[in-house]
Amino acid sequence: MKSIERIGKKEEEYVKEVLDTQFRSSKGAMMMTRFEQAFAKKYNSKFAISHINGTATLHSCLAAAGIGPGDEVIVPPLTMSSTSFAVMQQNAVPIFADVDPETFEIDAKYVEPLINERTKAIITVALYGLSPDMDPIMQLAKKHNLVVIEDNAQAFLSYYKGRLAGTIGHMSSFSFQSSKHVTSGEGGIILTDDKELALAIRRFSSLGYAGVGAEKGKITKKDIQNPNYERHVQMGFNYRIPELCAAVALVQTERIEELVQRRIEAAELFGSVIKEKKCSWLVPQKIPDYAKTSYWTYVVKLEHQNVKWEEFQNKWLEFGGDGFYAAWKLTYQEPMFKTLSFNFVEKIYNNKEMYKGKLQDYNKSLCPNAEELQKKLIQLKTNYWNWEDAERNAQALRKTIDFFDKNNI
């Protein structure tokens, strides 16, 4: 397998194009627009609205959908914290739904019992690159008139029943942060086919400017050369992606197939080692027949009676492997939830006028499957641009499995 460049000459070229503009405002949002058009085209989506990161994207989606104080939004707890932070950034209440023990994904059967008259949206997360089972979630959403936002920060060119993950919910959010399949250091983008939502997202993420549009990312000089010009039709945030990042994100979008394919190749290499060794105590994330995952990471459950997570990692390192990641603490197990030390709690959640519901008790077991999984997950990296590194890690995996098997541990 050949080695590939993660960031190469073409990225440099496009960055230089931006630098050559001297950031003249007459050049507007040249790269931003090109990036949005290219990304929308890859997904055959009507609208793409770029952002500074994949947290801001989620915030904008929720705001555009009219989610506000006291509304409930159902989220999985096994994910990076941004999924629920965005909910709180809108002063809404995250309600945690359990995940499937084999796919690790949010599941309609755990979502349904949590729906009540305060529920306004569901954020699904395509964890590790695998789309959740979306049809039952979309059916629930239709029945209860809920908005579905796909958090696809970790899933690029993933498929669900032949459809691209990111084209199923009402809106979908992607991250271009440095660990992701495609990156511009920081960055994000939203897809939607709904023009009203697209405009609302743009306005919210661009300071509420009157002069922006679903497809127009920046106001022009002409707009503002009139003393009577009214700029702001609403309050908004400045979540625009910088042109330098947009330049890199554009090239990465052009190269997306190559970059995603590399992750899949690395994951398949690790999978082949587990199969070759007939290792029953490393259980990979189940990829159902309906899905094609893009393997942001290759994730296995450590199901060994006598081997602890740390012991596995120490041996792996000893055998020349790189570090790998543990799953995040479940969001509600983070100290800020345990102590309820988020700003809004007094003002919003304990204000009976604003929030008629009862907060979930974050000190109790809310999502037993996710709690059990979180301790066992091993997230092997798949971003091996140099193929020798992937092989070295596959060898470390082989030796680690052998060590514990041969010593009958």
C-alpha triplet 291, 377, 399: angle, nearest 5°:
100
Residue from 55, 89, 184, 206 that binds ligand PLP (CB under 6 A)? 55
285 counts as binding ligand PLP under rule CB under 6 A? no
67 binds ligand PLP (CB under 6 A): no
| Contacts within 8 Å (CB) and 24+ apart, 139-147 | 139/108, 140/108, 140/111, 140/112, 140/115, 144/115, 144/119, 146/115, 146/119, 146/120, 146/121, 146/122, 147/65, 147/67, 147/120, 147/121, 147/122, 147/171
Binding segment for ligand PLP among 50-58, 163-171, 258-266, 384-392 (CB under 6 A)?
Answer: 50-58
- Angle separating helix axes 387-406 and 309-318, nearest 10 degrees: 120
Compute the least distance from the CB of residue 311 to ligand PLP, in Å. Answer: 27
As measured in angstroms, the least distance from the Cβ of 225 to ligand PLP is: 35
Selected from 33, 45, 60, 83, the binder of ligand PLP by CB under 6 A is: 83
Phi/psi for 41 (5° steps) reads -65, -40
Comparing CB distances to ligand PLP, the nearer of 53 and 90 is: 53
Place of tokens 């796919």: 103
Q: Which of 33, 45, 89, 175 binds ligand PLP (CB under 6 A)?
A: 175
Check binding of 82 to ligand PLP (CB under 6 A). yes
Tell the smallest beta-carbon distance from residue 53 to ligand PLP (Å).
Answer: 4
State yes or no: residue 79 binds ligand PLP (CB under 6 A).
yes
Instruction: Give the relative orientation of helices 56-64 and 82-89 as an angle to the nearest 10 degrees.
Output: 50
Q: Any contact of residue 76 with ligand PLP (CB under 6 A)?
A: no
Query: Which amino acid makes up residue 204?
Result: F
C-alpha dist (Å) from residue 392 to 273, 316, 320: 12, 11, 7
Which listed range, 15-23, 52-60, 191-199, 248-256, lies at the site for ligand PLP (CB under 6 A)? Answer: 52-60
Element (H, E) at 316: helix 309-318
Rounded Cα distance, 281 and 217, in Å: 50
| Interface pattern 125-144 for ligand PLP (x via CB under 6 A) | x-------------------
How far, in Å, are 62, 75, 76, 95, 342 from residue 123 at the CA level? 9, 5, 8, 10, 20
Distances (CA, A) of 91 to 205, 309, 349, 390: 17, 37, 9, 43
177 binding ligand PLP? (CB under 6 A): yes
153 counts as binding ligand PLP under rule CB under 6 A = yes
Binding mask 182-221 for ligand PLP (x = CB under 6 A): ------x---------------------------------
Q: Which residue is nearest to ligand PLP (CB)?
A: 54
Shortest reach from residue 56's CB to ligand PLP, in Å: 7
Distance of CA 114 to the CA centre of its chain: 23
Instruction: Tell me the closest approach of the beta carbon of residue 239 to ligand PLP, in angstroms.
Output: 11
Part of the chain binding ligand PLP (CB under 6 A), chosen from 28-36, 66-74, 146-154, 247-255: 146-154
* Residues that bind ligand PLP in the complex, under the rule CB under 6 A: 53-55, 79-80, 82-83, 125, 151, 153-154, 175, 177, 188
